[in-house]
Amino acid sequence: MIDYLLRQKERISRSLDEYLRVELRELFESHPFGTDAATRLYDFSSRGKMIRGALVYLGAELYGYQGSDKPTTRLAAVMELLQSFLLIHDDIMDGDTLRRGAPSVFAQYERLGIDRSLAEPRHFGEAMGICAGDVAIFLATGLVAHDDVPVALERRLLRLISTEIARVGLAQMSDVYHGVYPEQVAESEIIDLYRYKTGRYTFSLPLMCGATISAAPERDIETLGRIGEGLGVVFQIKDDYIGLFGQTAAIGKKVGSDVAADKKTLYRTYLFERASASDRDHLATVFGASEPSPEDIAFVTRCMHLYRVVDDVENVLQNYADETRQSIRNDIPDMPENGREMLEQLLEYNLNREA
């Protein structure tokens, strides 16, 4: 499955390149920072695996799509532009200067500010990053209205995208709040965030867009949305695991950055519930510290095992995976058998990936 998804990247990249460098060249050239921004957006987008874009093709294939790859490719590029916008803005909010194995976009502009001796280069970088993200959004919506996308599908696609990304923004507000709120976050609220922010956005939206292009029944598209939520919960719990226990080179961002940002993961909730008073006091100084030391991170890791947090979160993960697997098998009987198998493979990938 992952090979199938990764193989789509080339045509999405090519399409994005054509859109940004050829079709929109005049627009960018009429602004001093335009061509530079287009290049940064292209480069930034290209450094991702483009899984969300690839899921548009999968969504269409679930229903045996045999049409031109123009609409799917354009929609895939829309997904990737939206993903870039979200990451660009998120990195400003979280202060993450490293992303996809390179400086994040606001950090690139901060560097530009330093090189040109501008006052307050950090603030300059953040402001330029906000703009770059905003521009990416309207490049994405413009692409929904592209000639390659059947006009008859535009309304449904635009509604899907608008609703789901508005949802991401609202979920991101909770995420920001939890990032600085010193209290525990309840398990149910964390799962809701995973469902809405990762699930509906990363999985439901592109799969639903692809299924829409493939003229899937409206009812199935809704069910796919719910299956996407389950895929997202599984993906995100695994992502938290990798964020805590992975290596910088493999994950493309700094190990411990989730700890530094005090991300309210399920791991963290369980850990603070179970740790002894003295361990909890120590942990409280590490989570949210601006630069946790390697020793601090190692301490967090030790506690995660000591208090059986890793095992129990793994159980939660398996339960969501089971539920989603059942839903794939039973709740979309109109989907071709081959499509259900592909969805199950996607679930297994989310469950077993290591980076």
Footprint of its own copies (CB under 8 A): 27-28, 30-34, 37, 85, 89, 92-93, 95, 113, 116, 118-120, 123-124, 126-128, 130-135, 137-139, 141-142, 144-145, 151, 154-155, 158-159, 161-163, 165-167, 169-174, 176-177, 180-182, 189, 196, 288
User: What distance lies between CA 339 and its chain's CA centroid?
Assistant: 23
Residues paired with residue 103 on neighbouring β-strands, in sequence order = 98
| Smallest separation (angstroms) from its own copies to the CB of 86 | 8
Q: Smallest distance from the beta carbon of 338 to its own copies, in angstroms?
A: 32
Q: How far is the CB of 119 from its own copies (least distance, A)?
A: 5
Residue 20 DSSP symbol: I
Ramachandran angles phi, psi of 256, nearest 5°: 90, -5
SS3 at position 103? strand
Closer residue to its own copies, CB minimum distance, 17 or 344: 17
DSSP letter string, 281-347: HHHHHHTT-SS--HHHHHHHHHHHHHTTHHHHHHHHHHHHHHHHHHHHHHS-TTS-HHHHHHHHHHH
State in angstroms the smallest separation of the CB of 32 from its own copies.
Answer: 5
- Least distance between its own copies and beta carbon 339 (Å): 27
Who contacts 11 (Cβ-Cβ below 8 Å, separation ≥6)? Answer: 69, 73, 76
Q: Which residue number, 46 or 141, has a Cβ lying nearer to its own copies?
A: 141
The residue (of 1 and 27) whose beta carbon lies closer to its own copies is 27
Within 8 A by CB and 6+ apart from 85, the residues are 133, 134, 136, 137, 140
Query: Quick one: 132 or 300, whose CB is closer to its own copies?
Result: 132
Task: Give least dist CB 178 to its own copies, A.
Answer: 9
Nearer to its own copies, 79 or 132 (CB): 132
CB 299 within 8 A of CB 244: no
Question: Considering beta carbons, is residue 142 or 246 the nearer one to its own copies?
Answer: 142
Smallest separation (angstroms) from its own copies to the CB of 292: 15
What is the number of other CB atoms lying within 10 angstroms of the CB of residue 151?
Answer: 8
CA distances from 174 to 18, 160, 237, 269, 272 (A): 37, 22, 17, 16, 20
Q: Is the Cβ of residue 188 or residue 278 nearer to its own copies in the bound state?
A: 188
